[in-house]
Structure 1
């Protein structure tokens, strides 16, 4: 329910809920902060009007909620209270006010809230639309949207057409005059929240209820009772009575819990289990609540929401930078205000080439939508909000770095040179144990490397005293580096940057025979067209590459040494499975 989440967001700003760290204010002057607040406030007001008055969602619910919280934080930075959302309060009064829900910031906050409480219960936090149902003399006489918690819109006609809400109560029941509060939701079959997410179900339910004409799709809606003001005092008796009145779903999904461990396990179970509705967390509540006349349209003290981590989050762009890979390709990197996605803290996302950055039209301060792709890699999925004052991005020269640059270290080449070293020592290259990015970076910082293969000349003392590694580290590193002398020609050429498509065309030849190949020779191999053949010839005859190989020959690296009767060609393939290097 959007209003509920608005209240949660406002609660966070005011400290109603155990909060995270203090607000991280943007580094804007007061004039800019005022402009950005006005622009975002205007946008959210338009979203509110469309949603509450027309049943149209201009933005996904979870993103709206996050932007509403962002606006509140900006307003707090400006020293002013958060705006109240533009709500359609309606004209129909609720007989008992709708309360909101406080939200636990994390597991620690929930434990603190649960501490010392007895008789706790857990329910799924269904993602739908809140209503009040009023029965008089056993008949449904009114259904009222939540509105502002005190007044709402008349939805009686729509609710009567749903088919999932009893129009009359059993005549034999003692409960004939009843007021219920609960959630209208979009029915699902075997919905797994962990796999499928929210599916914008809240919006779809709200849209059906707000249509002026009768919609047969109303039959797709269900109802879950989460409050029965002035019903049976004990939860067990309340659930039993609700089932007899025609609301069995509440009893099925309201379970007692005795501690945090059980609560956490049930939350995880519902997150992964097939359910008949979309959820966005759980609600932990006390078994008893005050009399309805004491309820107010503000977060209740007897219940607390513990939401699931969102599948997508908005994050503010701190800075934009460009990274150079080993082949000279430039990638645009967004440095973000850190966000939590699942179990990962995300502060950077690679969005690809500079041309993609131009397509996204991003600037520092924009709020982007981030999700986790395969293997937990953060991915840019959209733009939630663009700031009004936009700092131009300084794009790099697209022709500065290529597969033929940065085989030696210069100040502007450091990034590509380091990427070449990481590739060289990795599984696609020489598979040198213990030589990762940090080890190479340390050697560069201490001035120990100027050439892509200069590490072959380093001694144990160079690594220990000169580069800052411990004696034990230096010993292991030295042994690993020296093993490279016996690696195969295939591994060495891949390590130096020969493209993968050329490796299967080496045909077990020696370096002398491979270096004599012409473009036509390369083109004769399957999968190598004229363009690739020209590239291969140019790479192997590129002066920095030939200089590196000459140096390797002087160092006695077996793979590049000429064949002699007493020195047969080495064809070992240490570190790779049959068929070549790992695919990438």
Structure 2
């Protein structure tokens, strides 16, 4: 349930450690804080007054932590470690809801388990917290969690949930139970399906004024019985005897961290009848209910699953120019940990896509890892009021022949072309990345894309940062490229030919290539009329012809004078 436990936010989301204070003048800071506070208030009103969850708990808590951080940064007001006033209901809890301290990793679990001998683990069922009060064997009250001390009276709704026993006997005749009302699922696989908005659906059903048909699909998982039997085994047996069977089925005795980790992984990857977001680890021993207080529960902790996505702040926007002149936009991020990988930036895509996303420094975004661990932008969860977005550079010609020759306007694209031809599948100049090419270009002032081929060892050794040994090795590597297959040189030149067509190309010389017309190009796989036209235009372009002639003089395979 969306109970924002403010006293835990800093440790739970790591916001204070993750991001420093914004470099804003005080007037802007006040405006941004007011802007964010207004949105959080609107979400609170929708949630607490209408039962509508307009954003996820993760987003709400992350942004609330951000608001708290900003207030501290600019010393604007004291931080109130309490849920919003809207959360406070009118019905007192017989025993306070304490909430759970969230562990960040296995080392914190080890500390918590130190000197504890009787420990139990349960799935952390994702639903809405409730107190059930039984008097003389009958359900007297059902109370929402609220602020932990006062909640709303849900008794009427609880009577429409078949899974909640209306009458109990034995030790439960006069009892106070705390648990989770959740949306029952069939074979829910947490690892692949995630949260599926189950919590919000359960909350909406309980908070609406009129009974919802969804109430019949709800169930309850009892996770606390204050002042009940002294040990967990006796508790779960008594609960099961009166109809609360889930607690017994899903409460497991454990002795080591390894066992807890095994159950955590098992429940994460096994079909379950509910949505979960981690595990709860409980000590057999707990204080009397009269001592329970919100935010104070050292006898039970939560170890949540690693999030599929994380939220972080955009530090800046920069632009990268590719070898064909295409400009891509990169967002630099406050570092965030995803699956043991620190993510510091993500590629947004084209300039038009960036405009569509409307991302500016200071915005909060959700990121995840795509295939091969590549950071991916999933959503913009919050936009700052002041939109200080940088202006993208002017795009060079989209023609395949742009920026073969060095110029101030072409600097980024020219460098991208050099980096491209270093790839193993092109000319295989390993060890020459963007920084090395930039050093060479600045020192030697390349005229065109292949000027490096004519450099002598002495000239290379004069490049700042290049030792004599490295210069000699590089010269030999440059020289070796002259003997590489003709196809690789065509790739280096940027011939706009699909990979399948390049593989099928029978031509071994530039002369053969130059003799092709549009019809002959279309005989190759993947080459249509438009691509054929582009190929003829490319090959006979003056700059390309000049480079082919220059490569001929350098005795490059397929470009020799004889071939031309």
Q: TM-score, normalised by structure 2?
A: 0.90
Query: Following the alignment from structure 2 to structure 1, what is the Cα–Cα distance between the partners of residues 478 and 396?
Result: 33
From 245, 249, 266, the counterpart of 1:248? 245
Q: Which residue of 2 aligns with 1:515?
A: 514
Q: Which residue of 2 aligns with 1:391?
A: 388
From 222, 236, 239, the counterpart of 2:236? 239
Query: Following the alignment from structure 2 to structure 1, what is the Cα–Cα distance between the partners of residues 18 and 555?
Result: 61
Q: Which residue of 2 aligns with 1:223?
A: 220
Judge conservation of contact 1:448–1:467 (CA < 8 Å) in 2: no
Give, in angstroms, the shift of residue 54 of structure 1.
Answer: 0.8
Judge conservation of contact 1:17–1:102 (CA < 8 Å) in 2: no
The 3-state SS of whatever aligns with 2:167 is coil
Equivalences for 1:20-99 in 2 at 5 Å? 21=17, 23-79=19-75, 80-82=77-79, 84-99=83-98
Query: Following the alignment from structure 1 to structure 2, what is the Cα–Cα distance between the partners of residues 537 and 26?
Result: 54
Query: Structure 1 residues 174, 395: closer, same or farther in 2, change over 3 A?
Result: closer
Q: Which residue of 1 aligns with 2:505?
A: 506
What's the Cα RMSD here?
Answer: 2.8
Give, in angstroms, the shift of residue 21 of structure 1.
Answer: 2.5
Residues 41-99 of structure 1: CA deviation (Å, up to 9, x unaligned): 11111111111121111112321221122112112212233354243322221111111
Give, in angstroms, the shift of residue 153 of structure 1.
Answer: 1.2
The 3-state SS of whatever aligns with 2:70 is helix
Q: Which residue of 1 aligns with 2:124?
A: 125
Equivalences for 1:447-466 in 2 at 5 Å? 447=444, 451-458=448-455, 466=463
Q: Which residue of 2 aligns with 1:156?
A: 155
The 3-state SS of whatever aligns with 2:87 is coil
Judge conservation of contact 2:12–2:104 (CA < 8 Å) in 1: no
Give, in angstroms, the shift of residue 277 of structure 1.
Answer: 1.3
Q: Indicate whether 1:189 and 2:189 are aligned.
A: no
Q: Which residue of 1 aligns with 2:101?
A: 102
The 3-state SS of whatever aligns with 2:101 is strand
Moved more, 48-57 or 355-364: 355-364
Q: Indicate whether 1:353 and 2:350 are aligned.
A: yes
Query: Following the alignment from structure 2 to structure 1, what is the Cα–Cα distance between the partners of residues 158 and 509?
Result: 81
Give, in angstroms, the shift of residue 361 of structure 1.
Answer: 2.1
Query: Following the alignment from structure 1 to structure 2, what is the Cα–Cα distance between the partners of residues 561 and 472?
Result: 30
Query: Following the alignment from structure 2 to structure 1, what is the Cα–Cα distance between the partners of residues 267 and 404?
Result: 54
Query: Following the alignment from structure 2 to structure 1, what is the Cα–Cα distance between the partners of residues 523 and 18?
Result: 65
Query: Following the alignment from structure 1 to structure 2, what is the Cα–Cα distance between the partners of residues 363 and 77?
Result: 21
Query: Structure 1 residues 18, 216: closer, same or farther in 2, change over 3 A?
Result: closer
Query: Following the alignment from structure 1 to structure 2, what is the Cα–Cα distance between the partners of residues 469 and 117?
Result: 60
Q: TM-score, normalised by structure 1?
A: 0.87
Equivalences for 1:290-439 in 2 at 5 Å? 290-399=287-396, 402-437=399-434, 439=436
Give, in angstroms, the shift of residue 333 of structure 1.
Answer: 1.3
Q: Which residue of 2 aligns with 1:2?
A: 2
Residues 520-559 of structure 1: CA deviation (Å, up to 9, x unaligned): 5545656444433332223223333223222221121122
Query: Following the alignment from structure 1 to structure 2, what is the Cα–Cα distance between the partners of residues 385 and 17?
Result: 16
Judge conservation of contact 1:512–1:562 (CA < 8 Å) in 2: no
From 259, 264, 273, the counterpart of 2:261? 264
Query: Following the alignment from structure 1 to structure 2, what is the Cα–Cα distance between the partners of residues 142 and 275?
Result: 29
Residues 17-46 of structure 1: CA deviation (Å, up to 9, x unaligned): 999737511111111111111111111111
The 3-state SS of whatever aligns with 2:191 is helix
Judge conservation of contact 1:131–1:182 (CA < 8 Å) in 2: yes
Q: Which residue of 2 aligns with 1:544?
A: 543
From 195, 201, 213, the counterpart of 2:198? 201
Query: Following the alignment from structure 1 to structure 2, what is the Cα–Cα distance between the partners of residues 198 and 87?
Result: 25
Q: Which residue of 2 aligns with 1:581?
A: none
Query: Structure 1 residues 356, 18: closer, same or farther in 2, change over 3 A?
Result: closer
Judge conservation of contact 2:317–2:361 (CA < 8 Å) in 1: yes
Equivalenced residues, count: 559
Structure 1 alignment gaps of length 5 or more: 570-584
Q: Which residue of 2 aligns with 1:287?
A: 284
Judge conservation of contact 1:486–1:559 (CA < 8 Å) in 2: no
Structure 2 alignment gaps of length 5 or more: none
Query: Following the alignment from structure 2 to structure 1, what is the Cα–Cα distance between the partners of residues 113 and 455?
Result: 61
Judge conservation of contact 2:37–2:67 (CA < 8 Å) in 1: yes
